[in-house]
Amino acid sequence: MTRRSSEEERQRAEIRREMLAVGSYRVPANVSHIKWSKEEREQIETLAGQYNIMLDTLKAYKISLEGMPTWELVLAELAPEVLKRVRKLEEPALVIVPPVSRQTMVEAIDAHKVPGQKHETTNYKFGNDDLWSGGKPEATDAWEVAIVTGVRDVKADEAIRGTNYQRAKAWVKKYEGQGVDVINDARTYLALMMCSLQAGKPIDKENWTALNAKNLTESSLVAFGFWNLDRVFLNFAGPAVGYLFLRWRGSVRVM
């Protein structure tokens, strides 16, 4: 068994301290000014557990934890107005995106296969930032934290119809109306996929999650991810067709 680093032990001990019963929740000094309701404290308790899961997930994929935000730092960003937006998401899941490239994350997934994962990830034009990085140069200089739609397969919205492009813009508008963003890059999606693989329940078995809705144009390709044929797929579709199994996941950026 691999010995845990002193930093990991410290972070785990910190989480254990914070994951107390709601009625006796001990608030760190740096967030003592934030007044959470009982419902919000229950949310925080769930998110603290998910933080711990992310630690285990990143460790399983041999991704360095150096510089990873502590739970205390994450907690300081969970103001009531943030948690209110998080409640708009279906099965909110906290994801921590390491400061490594999407290619590195795929290589980690392929190098440490879980039971049932028989093949390496299939991807298309993975160096294309318009497809996989929201139309911006890939940034790997800092850790990122978000809370996203964590349900295994996102439900359809029967009111949203049309081409892939039209549906993408409609989903963005829908989420923005709820005060939340959408996952708009491969790295955030891969962090969520990693957690789901480690749990033995890979996301998007029935549908696809589109990953570039915000920067999509009427002539650009739609990037998406899913699980099928015992592997992760990162693929594309044209904007003018209308795939009913395309979905979009909401996101609330924390750090």
**What per-residue confidence (pLDDT) applies to 250?**
98
Instruction: State the chain's maximal CA–CA distance in angstroms.
Output: 55
Tell whether the model's pLDDT for residue 47 goes beyond 50: yes
Percent of the chain with pLDDT over 70: 89
**What per-residue confidence (pLDDT) applies to 174?**
97
**What per-residue confidence (pLDDT) applies to 26?**
53
Beta bridge partners of 237: 222
User: Residues 6 or more apart from 164 whose CB is under 8 A from it?
Assistant: 210, 222, 237, 238, 239, 240, 241, 242, 243, 246
Instruction: Name the domain count of the chain.
Output: 1
Crossing angle, helix 186-198 and helix 38-60, to 10 degrees?
Answer: 90
pLDDT tens for 56-95 read 999 999 999 999 999 999 999 999 999 999 999 999 999 9
**What per-residue confidence (pLDDT) applies to 177?**
97
Domain span at residue 27 reads: 6-253
pLDDT tens for 116-130 read 999 999 999 999 999
Residue 1 lies in a domain: no
Residue 215 lies in a domain: yes
**What per-residue confidence (pLDDT) applies to 33?**
78
Q: 23 falls in which pLDDT band (50, 70, 90)?
A: very low
Tell whether the model's pLDDT for residue 25 goes beyond 60: no
Residue 116 lies in a domain: yes
